[in-house]
Amino acid sequence: MFLAIVAIATLSAGFGLLLGFAAVRFRTEGDPVVDRIDSLLPQTQCAQCGFPGCRPYAAAIVSEGADINRCPPGGDATIRALADLLDREPKPLDPERGVVKPRAVAVIDEEVCIGCTLCIQACPVDAILGAGKLMHTVIADECTGCELCVEPCPVDCIDMIEEPVTLSTWRWPQPVDSTGGSGSPARQAG
């Protein structure tokens, strides 16, 4: 009885030591800061910041010292959250990168669509459904409103429609921004 307890305890302790050693030896050099920045970004994957997507931007903020004011979809709220996380001064959104707009959803005019699949290739989040020579449509729940599909469309049948404010999306308006940011009224709707 006693022997059994000792044997199992020894076995467990041995494996515990082995795993502890492995945890130290095989520690991944994953950057937790990149993950935390990435979770603050809006994940629209719109590339307006000049990087291919939200995660590359997060990586660039850490490794290349990219500015934190390059994300128009996130607006001032994101800039403030990033400034808090990284201990940097919040600054107004870089106007070169675009302006803050209310959240919109792409809508394809299905009468006009010729089924060229160009918008499907442009969509960073695979929110457009369709096949060659068949009408396409946007999955509204998946659309991040990045506008990347508008440009490639040869017949201009994609419109960005602002989401109407409903009971489930209405928020209290944010207090007026005192950091000198472009406290756009548009954020209040979103």
Is residue 133 a contact point for other proteins (CB under 8 A)? no
| Helix, strand, coil % over all residues of the chain, rounded to 5 | 35, 5, 55
Distance of closest approach, residue 138 Cβ to other proteins, in angstroms: 23
Q: Which CB, 22 or 99, lies closer to other proteins?
A: 22
Binding of other proteins at residue 26 (CB under 8 A)?
A: yes
The yes or no reply on residue 27 touching other proteins (CB under 8 A) is: yes
* CA distances (Å), origin 167, targets 164, 172, 185: 10, 11, 19
Contact between 39 and other proteins per CB under 8 A: no
Alpha-carbon distance 58 to 38, whole Å? 5
The secondary structure of residue 83, as a DSSP letter, is H
Ramachandran angles phi, psi of 108, nearest 5°: -95, 130
Q: Considering the complex, state which of residue 4 and residue 176 has its C-beta at the smaller distance from other proteins.
A: 4
CB of 77 to other proteins, least distance (A): 29
Of 17-25, 45-53, 79-87, 153-161, the segment contacting other proteins by CB under 8 A is 17-25
